[in-house]
Structure 1
Amino acid sequence: MTLNKIYNIWSLTSEDEDIQTQNTSKFYDIVNDIRNSKYIWSKQDMDTFKAFLKHNEKKWFVVNLFSKLDIIPEQLFQPFIEAAIHETNPSANRYFIEPCLRVFGFERVFESLNLHFQNGNNETKIGVCKAYYWARSPLVSVSKGDGPCETKGYHLKWNGHYYSDYDRDKETHYEMTASEVSKCKVVLKTLRIARRKLLLEEFLKNKDTDVRYQIKLRLPDDISSFSSENKALANLYFKVLAKDVVPDNYADLQLKKRLGIFGNNKLIRFFLKKKNDRIKKKGLITLKNK
């Protein structure tokens, strides 16, 4: 059965609930056959997948298909990353990032996003910044009651019924050893330094309001959070922030853009700061605000 036929089965909808249920069941049966037979995708299949991942609707078929398969072909790694970058919904891009984290590992995902940020235009840089949010470390801080938090690491695994990498439960993850956690910390530190260096350098040379806004969301608010390698750049970054109003949320970003040349007015800066302080105090800043 060709990919286009599988796609047609997946995409068929009907007001008749029984027919829709039959189509869904048939799609799952096909996926199970693919998984159980260890089907090898042809070059034509790869070309079709790549084309689908560039299509606003068909890309969701690819995501849905590979969310139920334990392996993503190597040839689709970059197309998945690029689909995440070009997905305008900052919540939906996770569905392209998370399977790559599971199959290819966080190091490759981080490095690929950094490369796209470094070489891309402003639109790509903005997309990468949004994707950074979901390109998460496998290390998490776990509370131990009244004691200090403990750092643990989790490998992502296939459980035969895979939907999301976000919830670190026993069915989709298994815990790293102490040695693996230590090694992961070293790798993560190097990657974090490289990412922040890229973001700082771009912020300092790129005057685009949207790019600066997205970069600010991905950088710490305190100079002490930057490593010694990036301290000089961070100092320059905070000096620019003192002069340029870079909003903390989407609503204020739109306000600044509407104000145009008046966006850096001291009175406007004061107004935005007071407004943001009130929002933060009430705990109303969410991902949707950003």
Structure 2
Amino acid sequence: MGGDRTRGKDGDGGVRVFMALPAPEVADLEPFDRCLADVVRVLGLAVAREPGTDDRLWGHRVRAALREACEQEDAFPAEAFEVLLRAAVHDPNPSFNRWFVEAALNAFGRGRVRSRLTDYLRTGTDPERAGAARAWYWTALPLDHPHLRPTDPAGNGPEANNASVGVRDWNQAALREFVTNEHLDVRRCILPGLPLRPSAYPAELHDLVEEAIAVARSHPDDYLRHRVEHQVRD
């Protein structure tokens, strides 16, 4: 994610160029700034915001300190789970939010992270729903910090970290949200990860898949119309 274009292979092995996910129409950075302060406080990161530091540089410094903590720490406090997920959801950058998701995955388990993001999708504000969809993209990352363990061992384990855990619940919630929620950023963020094959859903949702395709194809937004045509070919 991120950049001007993303590339992929089509069914014949050719290269397809996707439009980049547009930036949020209205970006309120104040909630994310509070999230960064909470990450620093709860994890005790050795980074301080100097006077005059702009928001973008401050975010980069916190992410870098978090990556270092993932390499050095054996465990994160229980409070870190919600703090990391909230930062991932409120991070406006669909590439850099990865670092909060990755830390939460390794410290608290894939199942718990995916369940919480699904909660955000179902019950959050529209900016939080869009942010949850951006964060979901990274939940398939491999767990490459084996030394990092949750404070509560029950929050991790083979089943919680299975690659398919939580996917069905997310897909069904995302399909319903895409069709019923007219917020543009929510729809833009959900669509790239939304399966558009009826076989991916129970029979009672097959009509909703067709409705989602129709919504995207007829939408005035260029990104939605462009993206759906690529996805229905997959």
TM-score range, shorter chain: 0.5 to 0.7
Three-state SS of the structure 2 residue aligned to 1:158 is: coil
User: Could you tell me whether the CA contact under 8 Å between 2:39 and 2:83 is conserved in 1?
Assistant: no
Pairing partner for 1:80 from 78, 84, 97: 84
Matched with 1:101 is 105
User: Could you tell me whether the CA contact under 8 Å between 1:88 and 1:127 is conserved in 2?
Assistant: yes
1:200: Cα distance to partner?
1.4
Q: CA RMSD for the aligned pairs?
A: 3.7
Could you tell me the TM-score, scaled by structure 2's length?
0.60
Unaligned runs of 5+ in 1: 1-44, 139-153, 160-175, 247-251, 257-268, 278-290
Question: Paired residues, what number?
Answer: 172
Residue 135 of structure 2 corresponds to residue 127 of structure 1: no
User: Could you tell me whether the CA contact under 8 Å between 2:172 and 2:201 is conserved in 1?
Assistant: no
Could you tell me the TM-score, scaled by structure 1's length?
0.49
Matched with 1:158 is 147
The AA in structure 2 aligned to 1:244 is H
Matched with 1:91 is 95
Unaligned runs of 5+ in 2: 1-37, 50-54, 149-156
Pairing partner for 1:63 from 46, 63, 66: 66
Residues 222-261 of structure 1 correspond to what in structure 2 (within 5 A)?
Answer: 222-228=197-203, 230-244=205-219, 252-253=222-223
Structure 1 residues 116 and 51, CA gap change in structure 2 (3 angstroms): farther
**Percent sequence identity over matched residues?**
25
Q: Larger C-alpha radius of gyration, 1 or 2?
A: 1
Residues 1-290 of structure 1 correspond to what in structure 2 (within 5 A)?
Answer: 48-49=41-42, 56=55, 57=58, 59-60=62-63, 62-67=65-70, 68-136=72-140, 157-158=146-147, 184=162, 188=165, 191-228=166-203, 230-244=205-219, 252-253=222-223
Structure 1 residues 232 and 65, CA gap change in structure 2 (3 angstroms): same
Three-state SS of the structure 2 residue aligned to 1:234 is: helix
1:101: Cα distance to partner?
0.9
Q: Higher helix proportion, which one?
A: 1
User: Could you tell me whether the CA contact under 8 Å between 2:101 and 2:135 is conserved in 1?
Assistant: yes
User: Could you tell me whether the CA contact under 8 Å between 1:49 and 1:62 is conserved in 2?
Assistant: no
